[in-house]
Amino acid sequence: MADTLYLSLWYPNLRLAELPGKLTAVLSAFAAYGGEARVYSATVWPINWNEPPVFQQVYGRRIGAGSEGTGKLGAEPGFAVEEALEMLHDDFAYEFQIGWSLWELETDASLDARWAREPRLVRVVGFGPLFDEGAYEADGHIRVDFGSDAPFLEEDLELDSVAARHVEENVRQLVELTAAVEKASGATARLLWSELGESLAQRLAARLRGAN
């Protein structure tokens, strides 16, 4: 069964004024590991997730040949963070969405199934220390929400050699990105976890054993 995958990052004695630099470092790391260089959107949440946002900006995104040309959509990570964190408060959370591509199996009634790199939007959230009654203690000063863990397991597929190779590439990309954001932002602790509390590493090992 598919589960939601998260990465939590913690920093020792983090002062709120340091959060913008940490968020910029995490967002900037995506481009080298299958992600986009520009941020899709920024949202600022006050007090807890039940409150309406006090700031929201959709910068958009453009995928394909024109993405490096003039008039490109999206915002540079530093600009998006600076704009959102202009309202820097202890009880606010700062959410950014950025594109990240993984191998997924495409199925079409008129075509044979084929593997393709499909983009998804990943959420990167920085927590003020008082947001949602200190949610950062469990969720991290910064939390990355990768969405469904299906591309790392493909539990609904029979894993032949081609499928296993693409799943392994997705996992390698995840591992490399995780290490990169930890190093770039200076995190001293990290945790890759899921809502169901099951270990991705254990599920993957069992999955790949079944393919052999």
pLDDT single digits (tens) 7-16: 999 999 999 9
pLDDT of residue 61: 76
Q: Evaluate the CA torsion angle 149, 190, 42, 102 in order and state its sign.
A: negative
Q: What is the three-state SS of 148-180? A: ECHHHCCCCCCCCHHHHHHHHHHHHHHHHHHHH
pLDDT of residue 154: 84
Tokens representing residue 148 in the block: 């469904």
Tokens representing residue 179 in the block: 């290490």
Which portions of the chain are predicted below pLDDT 50?
64-71
Q: 121-170: per-residue pLDDT in tens? A: 999 999 999 999 999 999 999 999 999 999 998 877 777 888 889 999 99
pLDDT of residue 65: 39
The 10 Å Cβ neighbour count of residue 69 is 8
The mean pLDDT of the chain is 89
How many structural domains are present in the chain? 1
pLDDT of residue 211: 53
pLDDT of residue 16: 97
> DSSP characters for 103-138?
EEEEEETTEEEEEEEEEEEEEEEEE-TTTTTTTHHH
pLDDT of residue 121: 96
CA atoms within 13 A on the CB side of 151: 24
pLDDT of residue 67: 40
pLDDT of residue 110: 57
How far apart, in whole angstroms, are the C-alpha atoms of residue 212 and residue 163?
Answer: 12
Phi, psi of 139 (to 5 degrees): -95, -15
Do the beta carbons of residue 148 and residue 5 sit within 8 Å? yes
Q: Which of 16, 32, 38 is nearest to 183 (CA)?
A: 32
pLDDT of residue 202: 75
pLDDT of residue 107: 72
How many angstroms from the chain centroid is the CA of residue 60?
17
Q: Which domain holds residue 166?
A: 4-211
CA angle at 18 for the pair 16 and 22, rounded to the nearest 5°: 120
